[in-house]
Amino acid sequence: MPHCHGGCAEVDSMTEAVAGESFLMGCISCKRREEVQAHTTVDWHFRATGEEEYAHIFHYDHPHPNTLHEDFNDRLEWQGTMGSKDVQIGAVFIHNVTFNDTGTYRCTFQRTLFLPLDNEYITVEKEVELTVVAKANRELLSVVSEIMMYVLIVVLQLWMIVVLIHCYNKIWAEHEARDARKALRAQKLALKKEPLDSKDNCDGVLLE
C-alpha cells in the first residue's frame, strides 16, 4: 500500500520478472522532515530460494554505486536518487534476469539526519519477494479490464438495438395515428355532405 510524505510516495515494487529481460527492483523510503538535511546510503542484500543467509550484493553512497557480488557483476544498475546525498529512492535495475535470481531481496536505508542539537540515525528495511518466470503473465486487473470492455461494448450494442426498435415502433404508431386522423376527417366530411344531398333530392320531389 502506498504511503505519502509531502512530494514523496512509497510505492511497493513489482515482484515478477521475466527471464532474459531487465527488471526494476523498486525501493523507496521517504524522509518525513523535508526541511532537514540528510545523508543516506543504500544496501541491497539477496537470499536465494532455499538459502538461509543473505548475501550483500550492492552498496550505494552518493555518487558511487558498487556491485559487491560476482553473480551480479555488470547486471546491477543504480536507478535511485541522482545528484543528491539525501537518497529517498533506492531502486536498481537487474539486467539479464535468470531463474537463479528468484528469492528475497532486502533494501536497507541508513539515513543520518543533521539536526541542530544532535544527529539522528535512522534505519529502514524493505523486502521484495521476486519470482522469475519464462513468460510474462497477464495481470488479473488487465484481464478484468479487457472483459469489462467487451461486456460494455455488447451492452451498448444491445442498448442501441432496443433504442432503434423503440424509435421504429414510435414512428409506426405516429404513422398509424396520422392515417386514423385522416380517415376520421374524411368520414366527418362525408357525413356533412350527406344531409345536403338528401335535401336536394327532397326539393326535387316537391317540385314535381
* Res 117 pLDDT > 80: yes
Phi, psi of 132 (to 5 degrees): -105, 130
Closest of 74, 68, 73, 72 to residue 100, by C-alpha:
72
109 DSSP β-pair partners: 42, 124
CATH number of 16-136: 3.10.290.10, 2.60.40.10, 3.50.50.60, 2.70.50.60?
A: 2.60.40.10
125 close to 106: Cβ distance less than 8 angstroms: yes
What pLDDT band is residue 43 in, cutting at 50, 70 and 90? very high
* Res 206 pLDDT > 70: no
126 close to 27: Cβ distance less than 8 angstroms: yes
Query: How far, in Å, CA of 26 to CA of 50, rounded?
Result: 23
> C-alpha grid cell for residue 202?
327532397
> C-alpha grid cell for residue 69?
557480488
SS3 assignment, position 136? coil
> C-alpha grid cell for residue 66?
558498487
pLDDT: is 5 or 10 the higher one? Answer: 10
92 close to 74: Cβ distance less than 8 angstroms: no
What pLDDT band is residue 5 in, cutting at 50, 70 and 90? very low
Domain ranges of the chain: 16-136, 138-192
81 close to 89: Cβ distance less than 8 angstroms: yes
pLDDT: is 160 or 152 the higher one? Answer: 160
The length of the chain, given as a count of residues? 208
107 close to 42: Cβ distance less than 8 angstroms: yes
